[in-house]
C-alpha cells in the first residue's frame, strides 16, 4: 500500500521539531555515545546563599573549555545553601557552575545587603556533588589557565587548589574545595572569615575579585593587615553554632593566626617562647616595625598568641627570674618603672621607684632603710582579688570595697611601726621606777646627777589622750599635766609634782635649761622618729606627730616664779619643745592661749632630790 507523500512529509517535520525541542536543555533522544545523564547537587556558600538563588550550569567543551551553549539551571532550596540540578544530559564532563545571590555572614549572623557571584569549574559524572564557595571561585580561573597551557583538568585543579592553600596558610596539603564546606573544613571557614574582615560588602566583593585574578603578595599583605593582632572571633563561633547546631566547628582560628604571622615573618609563639618579643617584618604593611610579644591568651588556657607589646613587655623581656616585688626600669621612659606583683607586671608607684623594690603583699610590713630613714611597706587590704588587674595587665583599685582606699606604697615608718624597745639606746644602762597608782613601770636614766624618766608618762586621767599608751604613753592638757586648773599663787613650791608619781615632779625651766644647754638635741632624741639622731644620753625623746618634718613634742614644765604671766586670775608657765634638730623652752604667753592651753603634750617626770 502506498503511503501518501503528504503524510511522510508531516512525519518528517514532527521528528525534526521534536529533535529541536530537546537540543539546549536535554539530549536524551541523542544517540551520541559521549552523551550521559548527570545528577548534580551541592551547596552554595560564602556563608550559605539564601533560598531562591539561581544556580546556572554551563557545559564546557572538553578540548577548548569554551562554553558549548548548553545551559541548565536550578535553585537553592535549603537553608544551608543546598541546591540540585536534577538530571541533565551532558555531552562533556566539564562544567562551569555560577550562583549569584544574597549570602549569610558568619561574622554578623545576618544576610548580606548586596548579592555576590561565585563560580566553580568541575569534572562531573553521572552523580556528582559540586559545592560552590570562595575557594572554588578564587581557583576557577587559575584552573582554566593551567588547562589552556596543556595540563590535564584534574591535575590543573589540584595544583590551583594547592597553590592557594600554600600561599595563604603555608600548607602543602591543599583542599578539594568542591567537596568542602565552612561547616566541615577549617581552612575554608578561616578564608571566608578573613575575607569578611576586609570591610563592607563592596570591599569583600573587590577582595574576592582581586584574589581570583591572582593571589599576589600585595593582596595577602592587605588581607593580613585586616586580620592581624586581633582575636575578637567569639561572635563567629556563636553565629556558626546557632546556624549549624549539630556541627562540630574545628580550630579555624589557628589558620587565621598562622596566616598573618607567616605574612609578618614572626617566629614561634608557644609556652617556651612566652614573654619573647618579635618585630613585624612586612614592608608596606601598616604594622611594619611594630613590636609584638608572645603571651598566654587566657591564664591557664595553654594558648599562646602574639599581642602588641606594651612598654612593660619591652622593659621586662628576657628577665629569667622574677619574684614578687622585683622592680625594673622602663627601657623607653626613664621616669617609669614596673613591679612584678602577684604573677603580673604593673606600673610602679613613686615610692617603689625610690626604694628600688615593689610594695607587694609578700613584702607587707617589710622595713627598709633609705637615705637615713626607715621605710615600711604599707599594704591596704581593701582590694578585690578578682578586680586587681585588668586583662591588659594594668593595676586597678576597687573603690566599692572600702571608704579609705590607698595604694600599696613604701612609707616612712612611724613610731608605732617599731617595737617600743627600739626607742631606747641598748648601750645605756637604764633604771626603772614603778608608779604605785596603777602599777605601771618606766625606764629611767641618770643624766648629770638627775634621774629622768626615759619614756613618756602613761597615767590615765581626765583630759589625757592615751590612744597609743603602750608605745607613746599619754598626752596631757596643761591643766591635766599640772593636776590643777591654774596655779593659784605665785608662791608655788619650787618643786611641783603635778601629775607625776610620788617623789617625782614636773621639771621646771631650770632643770630643762640645764639639760638642753649641755647636750646636743640629737643626743637626747631617740634614733627612732628623728633624722640621724644618736640618743647617746639614753633620754630617748620621741616625736608626737607621725611625719618626718616638724616633729614636735611638748614636755610640760613648771612655771618660773619671776616669769609668771597672769591668766584668768592665775598663773601658768612653759613647755620644752623638741623640733627636729632643735629643742627650746616655749614661753606660754597670752597670744599662745589658744595654742597651748588646749595643746596636748607628753610629760617627762624628774625625780625629787634626796
Q: Is the dihedral of CA 165, 169, 173, 176 positive or negative?
A: negative
Long-range contacts of 491-496 (CB under 8 A, 24+ apart): 491/561, 492/558, 492/559, 492/561, 492/571, 495/558, 495/608, 495/609, 496/558
Query: Using an 8 Å Cβ cutoff, are 473 and 454 in contact?
Result: no
Please name the residues in contact with 471: beta carbons below 8 A apart, sequence gap of 6 or more. 415, 416, 418, 420, 423
Q: What confidence score (pLDDT) does residue 32 get?
A: 62
Q: Which of 519, 419, 508 is nearest to 472 (CA)?
A: 419
Q: Which residue has the higher pLDDT, 485 or 300?
A: 300
Q: Are strands 344-347 and 367-370 parallel, antiparallel or unpaired?
A: unpaired
Kindly state the average pLDDT of the residues 201-209: 97
Residues 501 and 607: their CA atoms lie apart, in Å, by 9
Q: Domain spans of the chain?
A: 36-263, 271-309, 327-413, 420-607
- Counting DSSP H helices and E strands in the chain, the numbers are 15, 30
Kindly state the average pLDDT of the residues 460-476: 88
Q: What confidence score (pLDDT) does residue 485 get?
A: 54
Q: And the C-alpha cell for 508? A: 621646771
Q: And the C-alpha cell for 331? A: 627601657
Query: Using an 8 Å Cβ cutoff, are 576 and 585 in contact?
Result: yes
Q: What confidence score (pLDDT) does residue 599 get?
A: 64
Q: What confidence score (pLDDT) does residue 547 get?
A: 39
549 pLDDT higher than 70: no
Q: What confidence score (pLDDT) does residue 233 get?
A: 84
* DSSP line for 396-446: ---TTS-SS----EEEEPPGGGS-GGGGS-TTS--EEEE-TTT--EEEEEE
606 pLDDT higher than 90: yes
CATH topology of domain 36-263: Immunoglobulin-like (2.60.40)
* DSSP line for 317-383: TT-----TT-EEE-SS-TT-EEEEETTEEEEPPHHHHHHTS---GGGTT-EEEETTEEEEEE-----
Q: Are strands 127-129 and 36-43 parallel, antiparallel or unpaired?
A: parallel
Residues 532 and 516: their CA atoms lie apart, in Å, by 18
pTM flag (> 0.85): no
Q: What confidence score (pLDDT) does residue 546 get?
A: 42
Q: What confidence score (pLDDT) does residue 289 get?
A: 94
Q: Residue 385 — very low, low, confident or very high, per pLDDT cuts 50/70/90?
A: very low
- Region of poorest pLDDT, from 103-112, 332-341, 399-408, 553-562: 399-408
Kindly state the average pLDDT of the residues 372-393: 59
- pLDDT tens digit sequence for 113-151: 999 999 999 999 999 999 999 999 999 999 999 999 999
Please name the residues in contact with 602: beta carbons below 8 A apart, sequence gap of 6 or more. 456, 457, 472, 473, 474, 475, 476, 544, 553, 554, 555
Q: And the C-alpha cell for 456? A: 613618756
3-state secondary structure of 139: helix
- Region of poorest pLDDT, from 39-53, 92-106, 143-157, 568-582: 568-582
| 236 Cα distance to chain centroid | 24
Q: What confidence score (pLDDT) does residue 232 get?
A: 80
Q: Residue 539 — very low, low, confident or very high, per pLDDT cuts 50/70/90?
A: very high
361 pLDDT higher than 50: yes
- pLDDT tens digit sequence for 421-448: 999 999 999 999 999 999 999 999 999 9
Q: What confidence score (pLDDT) does residue 540 get?
A: 96
Q: Residue 342 — very low, low, confident or very high, per pLDDT cuts 50/70/90?
A: confident
Q: What confidence score (pLDDT) does residue 7 get?
A: 42
Q: Residue 4 — very low, low, confident or very high, per pLDDT cuts 50/70/90?
A: very low
Backbone phi, psi, residue 43, to 5° = -130, 135
Residue for cell digits 566539564?
94
| 257 Cα distance to chain centroid | 21
Q: Residue 248 — very low, low, confident or very high, per pLDDT cuts 50/70/90?
A: confident
Residues 187 and 133: their CA atoms lie apart, in Å, by 12
Q: What confidence score (pLDDT) does residue 480 get?
A: 81
Q: What confidence score (pLDDT) does residue 486 get?
A: 52
What average pLDDT does the structure give for the chain? Answer: 84
Amino acid at each position: 500500500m502506498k503511503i501518501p507523500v503528504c503524510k511522510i512529509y508531516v512525519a518528517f517535520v514532527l521528528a525534526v521539531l521534536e529533535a529541536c525541542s530537546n537540543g539546549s536543555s536535554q539530549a536524551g533522544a541523542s544517540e551520541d555515545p559521549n552523551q550521559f545523564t548527570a545528577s548534580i547537587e551541592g551547596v552554595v556558600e560564602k556563608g550559605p546563599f539564601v533560598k531562591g538563588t539561581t544556580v546556572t550550569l554551563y557545559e564546557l567543551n572538553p578540548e577548548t573549555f569554551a562554553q558549548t551553549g548548553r545551559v541548565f539551571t536550578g535553585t537553592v532550596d535549603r537553608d544551608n545553601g543546598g541546591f540540585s540540578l536534577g538530571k541533565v544530559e551532558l555531552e562533556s564532563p566539564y562544567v562551569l557552575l555560577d550562583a549569584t545571590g544574597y549570602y549569610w555572614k558568619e561574622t554578623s549572623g545576618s544576610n548580606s545587603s548586596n548579592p555576590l557571584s561565585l563560580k566553580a569549574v568541575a569534572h562531573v559524572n553521572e552523580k556528582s556533588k559540586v559545592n560552590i564557595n570562595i575557594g572554588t571561585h578564587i581557583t576557577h580561573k587559575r584552573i582554566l589557565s593551567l588547562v589552556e597551557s596543556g595540563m590535564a583538568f584534574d591535575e590543573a585543579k589540584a595544583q590551583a587548589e594547592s597553590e592557594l592553600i600554600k600561599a595563604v596558610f603555608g600548607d602543602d596539603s591543599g583542599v578539594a574545595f568542591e567537596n568542602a564546606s565552612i561547616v566541615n573544613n577549617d581552612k575554608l571557614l578561616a578564608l571566608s572569615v578573613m575575607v569578611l574582615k576586609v570591610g563592607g560588602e563592596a570591599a569583600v566583593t573587590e577582595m574576592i575579585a582581586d584574589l581570583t585574578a591572582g593571589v599576589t603578595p600585595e593582596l595577602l599583605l592587605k588581607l593580613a593587615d585586616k586580620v592581624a593582632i586581633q582575636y575578637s572571633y567569639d561572635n563567629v563561633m556563636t553565629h556558626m553554632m546557632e546556624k549549624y547546631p549539630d556541627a562540630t566547628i574545628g580550630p579555624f582560628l589557628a589558620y587565621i593566626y598562622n596566616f598573618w604571622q607567616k605574612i609578618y615573618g614572626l617566629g614561634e609563639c608557644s609556652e617556651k617562647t612566652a614573654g619573647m618579643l618579635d618585630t613585624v617584618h612586612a614592608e608596606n604593611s601598616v604594622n611594619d616595625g611594630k613590636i609584638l610579644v608572645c603571651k598566654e591568651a587566657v591564664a591557664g588556657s595553654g594558648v599562646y598568641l602574639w599581642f602588641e607589646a606594651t612598654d612593660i613587655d619591652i622593659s621586662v623581656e628576657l628577665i629569667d627570674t622574677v619574684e614578687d616585688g622585683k622592680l625594673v626600669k622602663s627601657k623607653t621612659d626613664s621616669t617609669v618603672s614596673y613591679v612584678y606583683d602577684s604573677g603580673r607586671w604593673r606600673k610602679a608607684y613613686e615610692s617603689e621607684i625610690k626604694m628600688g623594690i615593689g610594695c607587694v603583699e609578700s613584702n607587707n610590713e617589710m622595713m627598709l632603710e633609705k637615705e637615713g630613714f626607715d621605710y615600711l611597706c604599707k599594704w591596704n587590704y581593701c582590694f578585690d582579688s578578682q578586680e586587681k588587674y585588668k586583662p591588659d595587665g594594668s593595676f586597678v583599685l576597687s573603690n566599692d570595697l572600702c571608704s579609705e582606699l590607698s595604694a600599696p606604697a613604701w612609707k616612712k615608718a612611724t613610731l608605732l611601726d617599731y617595737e617600743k624597745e627600739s626607742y631606747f639606746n641598748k648601750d645605756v644602762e637604764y633604771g626603772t621606777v614603778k608608779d604605785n597608782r596603777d602599777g605601771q613601770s618606766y625606764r629611767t636614766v641618770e643624766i648629770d646627777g638627775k634621774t629622768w624618766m626615759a619614756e613618756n608618762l602613761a597615767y590615765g586621767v581626765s583630759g589625757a589622750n592615751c590612744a597609743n599608751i603602750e608605745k607613746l604613753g599619754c598626752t596631757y592638757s596643761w591643766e591635766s599635766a599640772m593636776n590643777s586648773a591654774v596655779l593659784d599663787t605665785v608662791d608655788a613650791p619650787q618643786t611641783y609634782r603635778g601629775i607625776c608619781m610620788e617623789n617625782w615632779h614636773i621639771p621646771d625651766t631650770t632643770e630643762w635649761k640645764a639639760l638642753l644647754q649641755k647636750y646636743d638635741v640629737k643626743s637626747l632624741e631617740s634614733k627612732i622618729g628623728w633624722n640621724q639622731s644618736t640618743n647617746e644620753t639614753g633620754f630617748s625623746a620621741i616625736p608626737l606627730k607621725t611625719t618626718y618634718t616638724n616633729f614636735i613634742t611638748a614636755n610640760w614644765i613648771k612655771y618660773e616664779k619671776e616669769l609668771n604671766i597672769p591668766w584668768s586670775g592665775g598663773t601658768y608657765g612653759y613647755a620644752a619643745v623638741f623640733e627636729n634638730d632643735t629643742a627650746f623652752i616655749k614661753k606660754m604667753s597670752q597670744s599662745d592661749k589658744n595654742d597651748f592651753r588646749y595643746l596636748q603634750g607628753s610629760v617627762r617626770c624628774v625625780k625629787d632630790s634626796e
